[in-house]
Amino acid sequence: MRHTAFAALTVALVAFAGAGGFAHTGATGIVKQRMDSMEVIGKSMKALNGMLRSDETYDIQRVRALARTIGEHGGDKLTALFPGGSMHKPTRALPAIWTDWDRFSALADRLSDSAAALGAAAGNERTPSGSGTTRAGSPQPGIDALSAMSPEAVFAHMAQTCTACHRDFREKK
């Protein structure tokens, strides 16, 4: 079970490890806007990863600020960047977004919920060994339950949300 958890997290980490080096070349309009927005999310995740999963100094206020940034780019803000039919190149958005909109927007909400929970959990007892990670596909605990977890555990849930959405709604490279 541990292994599954780490495998899931690794996949998620790959999703933002490269933040900063994206080919937005040629992207315009709403597609560029959402790529830029995702890149901000990606950079914030990377910075959080540095504090939560490597040995960078842990700074509660910085964790809160980064979580706030991610939260501000989730939920309705995220879904607003996906108006129907906005599929022009070089987008990797899949048509499933619009045929399975309820699930897509639920994942967008889940992102902002877990970001809010990370802000609340930033000062909780830490579990640097990585315990508290969950299996991909396991149901998302509510915001109160998440807020009571270690920041590492909340981070793992958030990373899982990225993976879940990208798996179903973003074209593979």
What residues line the site for ligand HEC (CB under 6 A)? 15-16, 19, 22, 24, 31, 34-35, 38-39, 41-42, 45, 70, 78, 91-93, 104, 107-108, 111, 158, 161-162, 165-166, 169-170
CB 122 to ligand HEC: min, Å: 16
16/140 with CB nearer ligand HEC: 16
Contact 11, 37 (CB under 8 A): no
The C-alpha atoms of residue 1 and residue 86 are separated, in whole angstroms, by 39
CB 172 to ligand HEC: min, Å: 11
Tokens of 166: 């990208």
4/79 with CB nearer ligand HEC: 79
127/168 with CB nearer ligand HEC: 168
66-105 in b/e burial notation, b at 16+ Cβ within 10 A? bbebbbbbbbeebbebbeeebeeeebebbeebbeeeeebb
